[in-house]
Amino acid sequence: MNHGSLEATAKSLVAEGKGILAADETVGTITKRFESLNIRSTEESRRTYREMLFTTPDVSEFISGVIMYDETIRQKDTQGTPLPDVCSRLGIIPGIKVDTGAKDLAGSPGEKVTEGLDRLRDRLSEYYKMGARFSKWRAVIQMTDSLPTQTCLSVNSHALGRYAALCQEQGLVPIVEPEVLMDGPHTIGRCQEITGQVLQMVFNALYDQRIFLEGILLKPNMVISGKECSKQASVQEVAQATLQCLRRHVPAAVPGIVFLSGGQDDRLATEHLNAINSLPLPKPWKISFSYGRALQDAALEGWHGKNENLRDGQQAFYHRARCNGAATMGKYTEGMEEDRARKAIPAHRAEWHDD
**Positions marked catalytic:** 177, 219
Quick one: 57 or 217, whose CB is closer to ligand 13P?
Answer: 217
Q: Which of 161, 262, 302, 325 binds ligand 13P (CB under 6 A)?
A: 262
Q: Does 92 bind ligand 13P (CB under 6 A)?
A: no
The least distance separating ligand 13P from the CB of residue 188, rounded to whole angstroms, comes to 18
The least distance separating ligand 13P from the CB of residue 261, rounded to whole angstroms, comes to 3
Quick one: 133 or 138, whose CB is closer to ligand 13P?
Answer: 138
The least distance separating ligand 13P from the CB of residue 98, rounded to whole angstroms, comes to 12
Residue 319: what are its φ and ψ, rounded to 5°? -60, -50
Q: Using CA atoms, how far apart are residues 353 and 155, in angstroms rounded to an integer?
A: 47
Task: Give me the DSSP letters along 81-93.
Answer: -BHHHHHHHTT-E
Q: Does 261 bind ligand 13P (CB under 6 A)?
A: yes
Q: What is the DSSP letter of 76?
A: B
- Cα torsion through 30, 53, 96, 292, rounded to 10: -60
Size of the site for ligand 13P (CB under 6 A): 10
Q: Using CA atoms, how far apart are residues 224 and 222, in angstroms rounded to an integer?
A: 6
The least distance separating ligand 13P from the CB of residue 349, rounded to whole angstroms, comes to 26
Binding mask 160-199 for ligand 13P (x = CB under 6 A): -----------------x----------------------
Quick one: 86 or 294, whose CB is closer to ligand 13P?
Answer: 294
Q: Which residue is nearest to ligand 13P (CB)?
A: 292
Q: Does 238 bind ligand 13P (CB under 6 A)?
A: no
- State the amino acid at position 154 in one-letter form: S
**Cβ contact 23:33 at 8 Å:** no
Quick one: 68 or 211, whose CB is closer to ligand 13P?
Answer: 68
Q: Which of 49, 285, 291, 318 binds ligand 13P (CB under 6 A)?
A: 291
Q: Which of 249, 293, 311, 319 binds ligand 13P (CB under 6 A)?
A: 293
Look at residues 232, 234, 256, 261 and name the one whose alpha carbon lies nearest to residue 246: 256
Quick one: 69 or 311, whose CB is closer to ligand 13P?
Answer: 69
Which regions of 54-204 does DSSP assign to beta strands (E)?
63-68, 93-97, 102-104, 112-114, 134-141, 173-180
User: What is the bridge-based pairing of β-strands 93-97 and 63-68?
Assistant: parallel
The least distance separating ligand 13P from the CB of residue 260, rounded to whole angstroms, comes to 4
Judged by CB under 6 A, the stretch of 79-87, 196-204, 254-262, 300-308 that binds ligand 13P is: 254-262
Q: Does 292 bind ligand 13P (CB under 6 A)?
A: yes
Q: Does 322 bind ligand 13P (CB under 6 A)?
A: no
Q: Which of 46, 47, 138, 158 binds ligand 13P (CB under 6 A)?
A: 138
Residues of this chain, 16-55, that bind ligand 13P according to CB under 6 A: 22
Q: Using CA atoms, how far apart are residues 32 and 321, in angstroms rounded to an integer?
A: 23
Q: Does 212 bind ligand 13P (CB under 6 A)?
A: no
Q: Using CA atoms, how far apart are residues 45 and 180, in angstroms rounded to an integer?
A: 31
Residue 318: what are its φ and ψ, rounded to 5°? -55, -45
Q: Does 294 bind ligand 13P (CB under 6 A)?
A: yes
Q: Using CA atoms, how far apart are residues 287 and 329, in angstroms rounded to an integer?
A: 9
Look at residues 287, 349, 276, 280 and name the one whose alpha carbon lies nearest to residue 314: 349
Look at residues 68, 71, 102, 104 and name the one whose alpha carbon lies nearest to residue 88: 68
Give me the residues that bind ligand 13P (CB under 6 A), please.
22, 138, 177, 260-262, 291-294
